[in-house]
Amino acid sequence: MSATMENTTDVSLEDARQLLIDLVSTPSPSGEEDAAAACLVEFFEAYGREAWTDEVGNVRAPADDAVLLTSHVDTVPGEIPVEVQPADDVDVEREIAKRTGEEVLWGRGSVDATGPLAAMAAAAVRTGVSFVGVVGEETNSRGARHLVEDREEPAAVVNGEPSGATGITLGYRGFLAGTYVATSESGHTSRPEPNAIQHATNWWTGVEAAFEYDEYTAVFERVTAKPVDIDGGISDDGLSVEATLDVQLRIPPSLDAETVRETAEAELEIGTVSWAEPIPPVMESPRTEVARAFRAAIRKEGCDPRLLRKTGTSDMNLYAGVWDCPMATYGPGNSDLDHAPDERLSLAEFDQSVEILGRVATTLRGGEE
C-alpha cells in the first residue's frame, strides 16, 4: 500500500475475524438490524473512522469515494448455533479450507451476507475508502433505495454478496413482483363456468407458456416465472368467489421490466394485476477498472479468477440502475449455502477475501499494490 495514502489504518486478520464472529452472533433479520448496525459503528469508531446510522438504519462510514464498499446488514430469519469448528470435522466445499486445515464459522448470515459485510468493513478501514452497510436487502432493499437517492455517485462500487474468494459477479437478473386479483359470482360447483380461482390459474398457465424456453437456453437468459402465494375461496358473505395470486418474474439482461410486464398482461382476460416497482437486470463488462482490479488481486493470491452471472437479484441491480459507474459484486462464501440450515463460512477464505478487497480498493484509489 502506498505510504502517501491517507485515512488508512491497519486491521489485523484476527480483528477482522472477531468482527465477523461478533456480527454473526448478533441476530439481524430484516427489520431488526439495529444491534448489528451498532456493532459496525463501534468497529469503525475504534479505528478512528467517523460512522453513524442514517434515518433508515444504514451504517454510513464515508471516506475516499474512489470506491464504495457496500453489503447488507440484514439476514433471513433462522437460528443456527454460532460456533467455530475445524474444517476437517465438517463437509466443507471450499478447497482453501480443505487445503489449509483451517476453521469454519457456522451461523446465520455467515455467508449471506455477513461474511462479505465484515470483510468489506475491515478492507475499508485498511484502505481508507467509503463503506455503507445497508438494511432490508432480503425484503424490499429499502437501504439501497435510500442510498442511491441520498448520496452522490461514487467513482466505483463493490457490492458484497457471496461469490467465493476467487469469484467476481458481473451480472444479475432483474425482478418483477405482481399480485393478481379476481372475483366471480358464487354458484354450485356443478356449474361449468370458471370461477375466480380458475381465472387465476388460467392466467398463470398462460404466463408460464408465454415465457417457455428450450433446454438449450441458459437460465440466466430466461424469464423465470414463479407463483409464490395463492389465496382463494368463498367470500365472507357467501355471494362470490375470490382469488389472489402473488407472482415473481426474474428478468434477463436481454429484456426490460416493461416488456416482461406487457407479455404477462397480454395473457390477462379476467381479473387485474398490480405490479410492485421493478428492479432492473444488470450485466457489467469484464473490462471495467473494477473487474480488472479484481482479476489482478485474485491472481496475486495465486488463484484463477472466475467471472460469474447469477440468476437471482441483488442491490447491485439498484445501484447500476441509478449510478453510471463501474461495479461488481464480491464476497467470501459458497452461495449454495445462502439461507440454508447449514450455513457456514471458511475462515481461511474470509481472510483471503479481506486481502483481495484491500488490493482492489488500493488499486482503485490509485495507490501501489
Say whether pLDDT at 64 is over 50: yes
Residue reference for cell 397480454: 266
Q: Which is more confidently placed, 100 or 44?
A: 44
Question: Which one is catalytic: 33, 103, 112, 137?
Answer: 137
Q: Is 315 a catalytic residue?
A: no
Q: Which pLDDT value is given to residue 207?
A: 98
The C-alpha atoms of residue 303 and residue 356 are separated, in whole angstroms, by 11
Residues 144-188 pLDDT 10s: 999 999 999 999 999 999 999 999 999 999 999 999 999 998 876
Residues 72-115 pLDDT 10s: 999 999 999 999 998 765 554 445 545 556 799 999 999 999 99
What is the SS3 assignment for 208? helix
Which element (helix H / strand E) includes 216?
none
Say whether pLDDT at 368 is over 90: no
Residues 245-287 pLDDT 10s: 999 999 999 999 999 999 999 999 999 999 999 999 999 999 9
Q: Which pLDDT value is given to residue 97?
A: 47
Question: Which one is catalytic: 74, 103, 161, 349?
Answer: 74
Residue reference for cell 453513524: 52
Residues 29-41 pLDDT 10s: 999 999 999 999 9
Domains in the chain, please, with CATH?
A: 13-172+282-365 (3.40.630.10), 174-275 (3.30.70.360)
Say whether pLDDT at 1 is over 80: no
Residue 4 banded pLDDT, cuts 50, 70, 90: very low
Q: How many CB atoms lie within 10 A of CB 338?
A: 17
In sequence order, what DSSP letters do the residues of 296-351 get, joined into one string? HHHHHTT---EEEEESS--HHHHHHHH--S-EEEEESS-GGGTT-TT-EEEHHHHH
The C-alpha atoms of residue 61 and residue 125 are separated, in whole angstroms, by 9
pTM: 0.90
The C-alpha atoms of residue 346 and residue 354 are separated, in whole angstroms, by 13
For strands 164-172 and 327-331, give the pairing: antiparallel
Sequence-ordered strand ranges (E) for 138-173: 157-160, 164-172
Q: Which pLDDT value is given to residue 9?
A: 85
Q: Which pLDDT value is given to residue 187?
A: 73
Residue 236 banded pLDDT, cuts 50, 70, 90: confident
Q: Which pLDDT value is given to residue 89?
A: 53
Grid cell, residue 152, equals: 452522490
Q: Which pLDDT value is given to residue 88?
A: 65
Q: Is 34 a catalytic residue?
A: no
Mean pLDDT score, 42-71: 98
